[in-house]
């Protein structure tokens, strides 16, 4: 492909008007990229929209009426900025826009459409339409990648046109966790890279990752020198770090905003035998099951890095997450799951108790899941399933947050071994329910969060300074230390 889109006037001396050309760096890398799947972007203001629109103009010039591209967003209203920018690039080329259908007819007969994508069924509507190019903008708005990945079934080469799916996004949003993992964005790369994936039957799928930052968009910085200053004014350190640096570990608006890997992730150590251990279980079949193994520190415990785990801290020292891919379960029956749980444990490992989703105790005309687990040697009691506390009652999310905050910055009351990869992957990026902000967005991959909530509710913890001493009444006498008084008959 040529490096610029232009119009040409034929006269005694031809005059070429350059409408668009890629900036050096990420935009030029995108224009030249031949791979079928491309992640482009990663930081605010990196020139993502211009890059894709410009590349499509070049492909339309080259392939004529065989070129058929569709840009997808979760709401068509969100496409307004991209449509407005497309007018500035495509109209001078002689393209015509149908505002009713949101379709450009390019000079050579090719098409560029702006469309809606929310569910897998939305992608299925494009089957058989010979779409050569697809672009999902702001892909972080998708809690799971399924609708996006279904677009591979829509892409179809038309007489030599190379097909391509381009995904653009900034850090943040409900889909941050799957994007960070799929495109290996933590740490955010400094230069383009290619990820080679085996997809079965000996086939290889190459994925291009093209990082872009605000510093790569010289045109924006020249036209609006205050842009970076404005980003610093948003009031959130996490958001500024994400937008400017492409930091995919920074989570704006996270439900568990007290999480920090430096505080809560510890290197594995030998758990003392006298510490109490227990399990927590969230059942799933089509969705993953999550099992956590926990230990309670019976005394202050020094770690090798100089930190100290306080007495009473919960340590997640092992996990089992039955997923074939994000949020898709292994479809194990209860007995198979029980056998898998037992296979993860060491001989003689003393598990004091197991708590699980109360729904597992439902019999529904036959043996309950807890009864079936008992047959393989796992006695499971119903957990306190309270999500949000009411009328002064304790809520599970409050307990989890309290333990993450802990006694102070250096002494969290809940930590996880670095080997608990799925906990570290899923819990930090969970978002608030948009319709009920005090609760978690259950459309996200929340199974580990639920299972951890069960564990916390089985071991309630309150920071000492939050304990209000009860006033003595006639017939009661004081017991306990002066700084943490309690009263009994």
Find out whether 107 and 93 touch, Cβ atoms under 8 Å. yes
Within its chain, how far is the Cα of 464 from the centroid? 34
Contacts of 121 (CB under 8 A, 6+ apart): none
pLDDT score recorded for residue 43: 67
d(CA 360, CA 332): 15
Hey, what are 370's tokens? 């807890």
Q: Contact, 134 vs 67, CB < 8 A?
A: no
Chain-centroid distance of CA 155 in Å reads: 25
CA separation for the pair 441, 435 (Å, rounded)? 9
Report the number of secondary-structure helices (H) and strands (E) in the chain: 15, 26
Tokens representing 99 are 């505002």
Phi first, then psi, for residue 73 (nearest 5°) are -140, 165
> Measured between alpha carbons, how far apart are the two ends of the chain, in Å?
86
Supply the angle between the helices 48-63 and 80-90 in degrees, to the nearest 10: 50
| pTM attached to this predicted model | 0.62
CA distance 68 to 163: 10
Beta-strand (E) ranges in 187-249? 193-200, 203-212
pLDDT of residue 271: 96
Q: What pLDDT shows up at residue 486?
A: 36
Alpha-carbon distance 284 to 160, whole Å?
A: 44
Q: What is the pLDDT of residue 246?
A: 65
- The closest alpha carbon to 287, from 447, 410, 402, belongs to 447
pLDDT score recorded for residue 429? 80
DSSP 8-state symbol, 131: B
Would you call the peptide bond into 115 cis, given omega within 30 degrees of 0 as the criterion?
A: no
Beta bridge partners of 281: 291, 356
Q: In this predicted structure, what is the pLDDT of residue 81?
A: 86
Question: Which segments of 226-352 does DSSP mark as H helices, in order?
Answer: 227-232, 237-245, 261-264, 334-343
pLDDT of residue 6: 65
Q: What is the mean pLDDT of each run of 10 residues along the chain (489 residues)?
A: 59 64 92 96 78 96 95 78 93 95 96 94 88 94 91 88 94 80 85 92 94 76 70 62 66 76 91 96 95 96 90 97 91 95 94 95 89 93 86 78 86 95 88 81 89 96 67 50 37
Q: How far apart are CA 115 and CA 97, in angstroms?
A: 14
Asked if residue 12 lies in contact with residue 85, where contact means CB atoms within 8 angstroms, the answer is no
401 vs 452: CA distance, rounded Å = 11
DSSP state of 470: P
CA distance 332 to 334: 7
Query: Which domains are delineated in the chain?
Result: 5-245 (3.40.50.300), 261-466 (3.30.420.280)
What pLDDT is attached to residue 143?
A: 82
State whether the Cα torsion 430-435-439-442 is positive or negative: negative
pLDDT at 230: 65
Token readout for 170 is: 């900034």
Distance between CA atoms of residues 20 and 3, nearest Å: 9
């Amino acid at each position: 492909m040529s490096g610029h889109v232009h119009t040409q006037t034929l006269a005694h001396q031809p005059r070429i008007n350059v409408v668009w050309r890629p900036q050096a760096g990420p935009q030029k890398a995108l224009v030249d990229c031949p791979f079928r799947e491309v992640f482009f972007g990663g930081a605010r203001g990196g020139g993502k929209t211009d890059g894709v629109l410009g590349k499509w103009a070049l492909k339309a010039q080259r392939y004529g009426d065989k070129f058929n591209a569709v840009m997808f967003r979760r709401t068509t209203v969100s496409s307004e900025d991209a449509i407005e920018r497309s007018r500035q690039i495509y109209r001078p080329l002689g393209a015509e826009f149908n505002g009713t259908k949101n379709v450009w007819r390019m000079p050579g007969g090719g098409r560029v459409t702006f469309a809606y994508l929310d569910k897998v069924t939305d992608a299925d509507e494009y089957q058989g339409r010979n779409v050569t190019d697809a672009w999902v903008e702001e892909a972080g708005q998708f809690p799971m990648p399924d609708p996006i990945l279904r677009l591979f079934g829509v892409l179809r080469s038309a007489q030599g046109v190379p097909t391509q799916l381009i995904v653009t996004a900034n850090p943040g949003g409900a889909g941050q966790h799957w994007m960070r993992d799929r495109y290996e964005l933590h740490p955010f790369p400094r230069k383009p890279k290619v990820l080679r994936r085996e997809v079965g039957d000996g086939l290889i799928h190459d994925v291009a990752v093209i990082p872009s930052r605000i510093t790569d968009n010289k045109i924006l910085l020249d036209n609006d020198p205050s842009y970076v200053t404005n980003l610093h004014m948003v009031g959130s350190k996490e958001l500024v770090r994400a937008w400017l640096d492409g930091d995919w570990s920074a989570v704006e608006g996270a439900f568990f905003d007290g999480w920090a890997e430096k505080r809560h992730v510890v290197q594995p150590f030998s758990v003392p035998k006298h510490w109490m251990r227990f399990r927590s279980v969230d059942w799933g079949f089509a969705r993953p099951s999550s099992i956590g193994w926990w230990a309670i520190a019976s005394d202050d415990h020094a770690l090798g890095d100089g930190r100290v785990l306080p007495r009473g801290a919960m340590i997640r020292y092992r996990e089992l997450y039955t997923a074939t891919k994000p949020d898709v379960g292994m479809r194990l029956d209860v007995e198979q799951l029980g056998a898998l749980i037992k296979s993860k444990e060491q001989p003689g490992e003393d598990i004091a108790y197991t708590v699980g989703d109360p729904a597992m105790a439902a019999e529904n005309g036959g043996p309950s899941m807890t009864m079936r687990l008992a047959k393989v040697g796992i006695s499971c009691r119903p957990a306190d399933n309270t999500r949000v506390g009411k009328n002064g009652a304790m809520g599970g999310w409050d307990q989890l947050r309290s333990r993450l905050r802990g006694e102070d910055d250096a002494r969290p009351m809940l930590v996880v071994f670095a080997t608990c990869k799925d906990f570290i992957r899923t819990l930090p990026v969970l978002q608030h329910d948009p319709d009920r902000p005090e609760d978690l967005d259950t459309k996200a991959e929340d199974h580990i969060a639920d299972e951890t909530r069960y564990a916390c509710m089985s071991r309630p913890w309150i920071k000492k300074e939050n304990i209000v001493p009860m006033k003595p009444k006639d017939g009661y006498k004081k017991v306990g230390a002066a700084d943490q008084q309690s009263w009994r008959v």
